[in-house]
């Protein structure tokens, strides 16, 4: 079932009638994601190498399994984010949440955090809200820079 869903997400819809501009930007996005996947796979290689602990068979097997999973998973995420842009917002808020949690659990704040149990969730929520606010500011700036139909 999961493979069927993945295949449906990755397949092109024939009745959408995409123009050349949309196709070019789609291919540029795919190329960008693939380059990012290759670069981020270096982290994966290091993790697999550490887990293999010098065993070449485990290293090769781990890379053969994990790299296609990363690439296939990112391709599915591209399609999902295209169909449901709210995923990008949720993902950004999650990153902000984790950033806030990280700040709240810093060694410098250990005593304060122990005395104030509310700090953990407050900092996490603040992190998510800050990321959301920054995203909204960038979106407004981006919308102002786009030419309207009247100007074009």
Low-confidence stretches of the chain (pLDDT beneath 70): 1-24, 37, 41, 147-152
Same domain? For 129 and 96 the reply is yes
Q: Are residues 31 and 66 in the same domain?
A: yes
Rounded CA gap, 122 and 116, in Å?
A: 10
CA separation, residue 86 to residues 11, 38, 90, 107, 151 (Å): 21, 26, 6, 34, 29
Render pLDDT for 43-57 as a digit per residue (tens, 0 to 9). 778 888 888 888 899
pLDDT at site 48: 87
Shared domain for 106 and 67, answered yes or no, is: no
- Same domain for 72 and 94, yes or no, is no
User: Final residue of a domain: which of 55, 84, 113?
Assistant: 84
Q: Give the model confidence (pLDDT) of 20-36 as tens digits.
A: 556 667 777 777 777 77
Structural domains counted in the chain: 2
pLDDT of residue 20: 58
Domain check: are 91 and 131 in the same one? yes
Name every residue whose Cβ is closer than 8 Å to that of residue 81 and which is 6 or more positions away in sequence: 87, 88
The boundaries of the domain holding residue 28 are 24-84
* Tokens describing residue 105: 């659990």
Rg (CA), the chain: 21
**Confidence (pTM):** 0.54
Q: How far apart are CA 26 and CA 151, in angstroms?
A: 25
């Amino acid at each position: 079932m999961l493979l069927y869903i993945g295949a449906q997400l990755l397949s092109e819809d024939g009745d959408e009638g995409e123009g050349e501009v949309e196709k070019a930007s789609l291919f540029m996005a795919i190329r960008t994601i693939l380059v990012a996947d290759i670069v981020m796979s270096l982290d994966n290689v290091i993790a697999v190498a550490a887990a293999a602990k010098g065993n070449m068979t485990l290293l090769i097997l781990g890379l053969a399994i994990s790299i296609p999973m990363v690439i296939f998973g990112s391709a599915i995420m591209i399609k999902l984010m295209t169909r449901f842009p709210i995923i990008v917002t949720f993902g950004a808020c999650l990153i902000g949440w984790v950033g806030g949690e990280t700040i709240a659990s810093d060694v410098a704040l250990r005593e304060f955090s122990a005395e104030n149990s509310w700090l953990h969730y407050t900092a996490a929520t603040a992190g998510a809200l800050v990321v959301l606010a920054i995203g909204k500011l960038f979106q407004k700036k981006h919308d102002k820079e786009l030419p309207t139909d009247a100007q074009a």
